Structure formats: structure tokens, C-alpha cells
Amino acid sequence: MTEQMIQAYTNTAAILSGILFWAGFLVFGFIAKRYNTVFNKSTFHGLLMTAPSGILIYSMLMIVKFTMVIKDPAINNMLQLTAYAFLLVSALLCLFGISKFSGLLSSLLKYEGSK
């Protein structure tokens, strides 16, 4: 396997993983939204559904980087830096949203009744 093929494989895997992560978190957000509907308590479902879009932006920027013929390495580096910055912010927001939702879930699991 040539170095070029390995590069193509890793790029494709990174982009696909990004899209799958985004889809996974979106489903998670929908589940949180259901808990919000039932219990009328803040589940941060809005955050859980929007935060992963950073992962999607990361994937899109990576696609742009690898498919467009951009000769200028400075622009390429900028694209890569921006993509990873979106990924990092998105991951942090996802972690925050999940920890909040997890708090609600654990309080429900410990619930013993109103009386």
C-alpha cells in the first residue's frame, strides 16, 4: 500500500467517523428531547443536538481540504486548524450536555416517589 493510499484511507475514515459521530450524538439529542417532553425538565437536548455539528463541520472542512485542489499550503493548514478547533469545541460542548443529561437520568434512577 502506497503512502498516498494510506493517506486517502485515513482521510476517508476520519471523515466517515466524523459523520457517524455527528449522527450518533444527534440520536442522543433526540432521546434527551423525549425525556424533556415527558418530565418537563431541562435535558439540554438543544445543546446535545447542535453541539455535534462541530464534528460535521470538521468533516466538511476535511473533505474540502482533501478534495479541492488548493495549492496554497497556508490555506490548507488554516483549514486543518479550523476543522480541529471545531472538533474540540464540539467535543467539549457534547461532554457538557451529556454530563447534564446524565445528572437528570441518575436522579430519575434514584427516584423513590413523591411521598
Partner 1 sequence: MQGTINSISIAGMLRLLCSYGKTGSLMVNSGKIKGSIDIIDGEVTGVVAEKCLNPTQNKKDALVQLLLAIEEGSFYFEEKPPAPNKPLGISIEEVILESAREIYEKYYGQISVKDMIFPENEVLKMARLGKGKVLTMTMHSEEWNLMASFNGDSNITTALENTGIAKEKAEIIMYGLVSAGFVRRMRFKIPEVSKIAKESFGNIGVAIVDNEMAKQKIDSTKMGMKNFIGLLNGLENSFAEIVGRARAKEVIEKIWNATK
Q: Which is nearer to partner 1, 71 or 110 (CB)?
A: 110
State in angstroms the smallest separation of the CB of 107 from partner 1: 9
Site residues (CB under 8 A) for partner 1, limited to 11-70: 34-35, 37-40
Site residues (CB under 8 A) for partner 1, limited to 89-108: 108
Q: Please, what is the Cα angle at 60 between 51 and 33, to 5 degrees?
A: 25
Does 84 contact partner 1 by CB under 8 A? no
Total binding residues toward partner 1, as defined by CB under 8 A: 13
Q: Which is nearer to partner 1, 4 or 40 (CB)?
A: 40
- DSSP letters spanning the chain: --HHHHHHHHHHHHHHHHHHHHHHHHHHHHHHHHHHHHH-S---HHHHHHTTHHHHHHHHHHHHHHHS----HHHHHHHHHHHHHHHHHHHHHHHHHHHHHHHHHHHHHT-----
Q: Which is nearer to partner 1, 4 or 111 (CB)?
A: 111
Give the interface with partner 1 as residue ranges (CB under 8 A).
Answer: 34-35, 37-40, 108-114
